[in-house]
Chain A
Amino acid sequence: MIGIATAVDVADLKETTLLNMGIFGLFVAVTMVIVLRASRNNKTAADYYAAGRSFTGSQNGTAIAGDYLSAASFLGITGAIAINGYDGFMYSIGFLVAWLVALLLVAELLRNTGKFTMADVLSFRLKQGPVRIAAAISTLAVCFFYLLAQMAGAGSLISLLLGISDWGGQALVIIVVGVLMITYVLIGGMKGTTWVQIIKAILLIAGAAVMTFWVLAIYGFNLSSLLGAAVETSGNPAVLNPGLQYGKTETSKLDFMSLGLALVLGTAALPHVLMRFYTVPTAKEARKSVVWSIWLIGLFYLFTLVLGYGAAALVGAETIKSAPGGVNSAAPLLAFHLGGPLLLGFISAVAFATILAVVAGLTITAAASFAHDIYASVISKGKADADTEVKVARRTVVVIGVMAILGGIFANGQNVAFLVALAFAVAASANLPTIVYSLFWRRFTTQGAVWSMYGGLGSAIILIIFSPVVSGGATSMIKDANFALFPLSNPGIVSIPLAFLLGWLGTVLDKNREDSAKQAEMEVRSLTGVGAEKAVDH
């Protein structure tokens, strides 16, 4: 450990709490005004769930980047690179390359065939009831895992900023974050949420850009010197090489493959990302959104490489690990080292805003899925009017908000990027096979969809429960018990192929044929955009 690493004294952080809260308060006030203004036109279900389909491609692309660059990307990846070096960089690459699946195979076709939720597309030509229920359940499950990760991030950040790991104090702040989030979603709907995402994306990318520039400037804009400094501080040349975290055993190498698979196939199956494609007027704008978000997200992940190694060089892995908030505190600690309390305050406020905005996006997705897919389509058999549906959605927001608050209070200090990778694995297993099959495979049937969704969802969750994440390890959620029968911490390598297999098997064994007219309609609509939902004029 060299002298520079001790320049960050964690005790100093407490003195900046008021400043942090001030900056965060300002963000909340500004966005609340915007949400209130945006909500004036929330009249119909299309307004509430899909922002009247009135956003442009570039606005929506920025909002997608805002949704996607969650606390996992900022706190989690920076921390993972700072501690594990090259293996952390893997997250950045997987999270980015995954967007090509969304761009090439999913975004436009989905925009052309659906209305509000992922289930609209999946149930388009299959039997409504079973497929919608399965899709809604998997949406709720993915949102829950993702929410857990965001709340764990909130907990880390709070314990760092307040310099305490006091359970009651953290719980109180998580409750405040949760209540704010519920308020945004209740008042603003999708339009308000989208504006919050846009503002947050700009702040986050700008903040990361400033820090990246700063770090590079310290090393004379020479990446090689930065890497050299990271090696020097850590005293371990292996931080530049793959395998520091995952190369230890054959099992951990398999785990790395599993993670890689889940990352690249998860994005195009994330319900809250899919739902954003409905907020634009046409498929062409959906394509533009994805292109925008790929550029923004790619740029940001290049920043994380510099930030992660910058934190490793300037703050040091040991200081990061021993700070309250652990791995997830690398980015805020780097900000403190560079710009003192003011930059730390800004970066922490941005990280808070990130969590708030992503949680809002997830909540509205989960609520839309429950109200639109389960309540309106299944419970009331399509008889509920749009007003009732939106009312149900708003009530669901409150229920999910409360669940997120509780989950956040009990979520522990696991790496946020790692928790999000679990959500990706669940999404890739439960949703992706059915999305791909129903868009591209004529013969695909309801039985195939139901087998694939429940099989993928069930196997992913069961494998997580019996993995070292939950029990049996030093960093497990339950440390005292050991029922880790499955050796890998990411289930993707088993559950994703299994879900694809089940979808195929369920289809070929299905004696029923689906309506070929519906298949023709879906294919024509998906490629041409005939009859797609248009923007709502106000």
Chain B
Amino acid sequence: MGNDARTPDAAASVDFEEVQSTERFQELRKRHRSFVFPMAVAFLLWYFAYVLLADYAVGFMSTKVWGNINIGLILGLLQFVTTFAITGWYVSYSNRRLDPIAAEIRNEIEGHEFDKDGNIVTGVAK
């Protein structure tokens, strides 16, 4: 059963289950999930808290803080700030913690897939 989402490529005959079970891949998976899941939960909670406040706590949101600027506007603008902050945080986390290990695994697989003469080597050589 071919999947034409993929073309024959450098990784066509790799034993992915073996790669998946390696400690290094599990470490990558753990690092990825332990960042994106809590972060996704956190920003969604913060966003829905904001929507609920705007919906059911109109009086609180309408409290004027400075001139015509009320709490609703400040919290709304804070949503922008947190979005930018999480974006920056994720990029720096990926650059430091995810990209190096992903590149290592990729090079290992692709490097051993075809040797310099173009012979196919199956499996993941260590």
* A residues whose Cβ falls under 8 Å from a Cβ of B: 86, 89-90, 93-94, 96-97, 99-101, 103-105, 113-115, 120-121, 123-124, 128, 222-225, 227-228, 231, 238, 240-243, 246-247, 253, 256-257, 260, 264, 284, 287, 290-291, 294-295, 298, 301-302, 376-377, 382, 440, 516-518, 520-521, 523-525, 527-531, 533
Q: Is the CB of B58 within 8 A of A243?
A: yes
- Chain B residues with Cβ below 8 Å from A120 are 5
Q: Is the CB of A242 within 8 A of B61?
A: yes
With known contacts A527-B28, A530-B11, A531-B110, A521–B16 Cβ distance under 8 A: yes
> Interface centre among B1, B16, B25, B43, by most A CB within 10 Å?
B16
A84 to chain B, nearest CB (A): 12
Q: Is the CB of B5 within 8 A of A260?
A: no
Q: In the complex, A89→B20 CA distance in Å?
A: 45
> Using a CB-CB cutoff of 8 Å, which residues 49-103 of chain B contact chain A?
50-52, 54-56, 58, 61-62, 66-70, 72-73, 76-77, 79-80, 83-84, 86-87, 90-91, 94, 99, 102-103
Q: Is B14's beta carbon under 8 Å from chain A? A: yes
Q: In the complex, A284→B90 CA distance in Å?
A: 12
Q: In the complex, A82→B91 CA distance in Å?
A: 36
Q: Give the 4 A-B CB pairs with smallest separation, nearest first.
A: A224-B67, A531-B11, A120-B5, A227-B68
| CB-CB nearest in chain A for B58 | A243
B116 to chain A, nearest CB (A): 19
Q: Is B120's beta carbon under 8 Å from chain A? A: no
- Chain B residues with Cβ below 8 Å from A99 are 83, 87
Q: In the complex, A128→B87 CA distance in Å?
A: 34
Q: Is the CB of A104 within 8 A of B51?
A: no
Q: In the complex, A126→B90 CA distance in Å?
A: 30
- Chain A residues with Cβ below 8 Å from B36 are 104-105
- Chain B residues with Cβ below 8 Å from A517 are 16-17
- Chain A residues with Cβ below 8 Å from B73 are 86, 89, 227, 240
Q: Is the CB of B54 within 8 A of A242?
A: yes
B106 to chain A, nearest CB (A): 5
With known contacts A246-B55, A533-B7, A298–B83 Cβ distance under 8 A: yes
Contact with A along B13-34 (1 / 0, CB 8 A): 0101101100001001100110
Q: Is the CB of B56 within 8 A of A291?
A: no
Q: Is B126's beta carbon under 8 Å from chain A? A: no
Q: Is the CB of B70 within 8 A of A241?
A: yes
* B residues whose Cβ falls under 8 Å from a Cβ of A: 1-7, 9-12, 14, 16-17, 19-20, 25, 28-29, 32-33, 36, 39-40, 43-44, 47-48, 50-52, 54-56, 58, 61-62, 66-70, 72-73, 76-77, 79-80, 83-84, 86-87, 90-91, 94, 99, 102-103, 105-106, 109-110
Q: Is the CB of B69 within 8 A of A224?
A: yes
Q: Which of B43, B55, B67, B70 is A100 in contact with, Cβ under 8 Å?
A: B43
Q: Which of B19, B55, B56, B99 is A524 in contact with, Cβ under 8 Å?
A: B19
Q: Is the CB of B109 within 8 A of A97?
A: no
Q: Is the CB of A241 within 8 A of B12?
A: no
- Chain A residues with Cβ below 8 Å from B109 are 528, 530
| CB-CB nearest in chain A for B84 | A298
Q: In the complex, A113→B25 CA distance in Å?
A: 17
Q: Is the CB of B105 within 8 A of A528?
A: yes
Q: Is the CB of B32 within 8 A of A527?
A: yes
Q: Is the CB of B80 within 8 A of A528?
A: no
- Chain A residues with Cβ below 8 Å from B67 are 222, 224-225, 227-228
With known contacts A113-B5, A241-B72, A302–B87 Cβ distance under 8 A: no
Q: Which of B4, B9, B29, B62 is A376 in contact with, Cβ under 8 Å?
A: B4
A515 to chain B, nearest CB (A): 8
With known contacts A93-B76, A294-B83, A247–B40 Cβ distance under 8 A: no
- Chain A residues with Cβ below 8 Å from B61 are 241-242
Q: Which of A86, A121, A227, A516 is B5 in contact with, Cβ under 8 Å?
A: A121
Q: In the complex, A376→B110 CA distance in Å?
A: 29
Q: Which of A97, A240, A291, A533 is B79 in contact with, Cβ under 8 Å?
A: A97
- Chain A residues with Cβ below 8 Å from B2 are 382
Q: Is the CB of B28 within 8 A of A528?
A: yes
Q: In the complex, A295→B48 CA distance in Å?
A: 22
Q: In the complex, A89→B1 CA distance in Å?
A: 49
- Chain A residues with Cβ below 8 Å from B14 are 521, 524, 530-531
With known contacts A517-B16, A528-B105, A253–B6 Cβ distance under 8 A: no
Q: Is the CB of B55 within 8 A of A256?
A: yes
> Interface centre among B1, B47, B83, B109, by most A CB within 10 Å?
B83
A504 to chain B, nearest CB (A): 17
Q: Is the CB of A96 within 8 A of B72?
A: no
15 further contact pairs, Cβ within 8 A, besides A86-B76, A93-B76, A516-B17: A225-B68, A231-B68, A238-B62, A240-B70, A256-B54, A284-B99, A287-B91, A298-B84, A376-B4, A382-B2, A520-B17, A527-B29, A528-B106, A528-B109, A531-B12
Q: In the complex, A284→B100 CA distance in Å?
A: 12
B7 to chain A, nearest CB (A): 7
Q: In the complex, A518→B16 CA distance in Å?
A: 8
Q: In the complex, A264→B72 CA distance in Å?
A: 18
- Chain B residues with Cβ below 8 Å from A382 are 2, 4
With known contacts A128-B1, A260-B51, A377-B4, A294–B76 Cβ distance under 8 A: no
Q: Is the CB of B1 within 8 A of A298?
A: no
- Chain B residues with Cβ below 8 Å from A257 are 51-52, 55
With known contacts A256-B54, A291-B91, A520-B19, A302–B80 Cβ distance under 8 A: yes
Q: Is the CB of B29 within 8 A of A100?
A: no
> Interface centre among A90, A104, A253, A301, by most B CB within 10 Å?
A104
Q: In the complex, A227→B68 CA distance in Å?
A: 6
> Interface centre among A114, A253, A440, A530, by most B CB within 10 Å?
A530
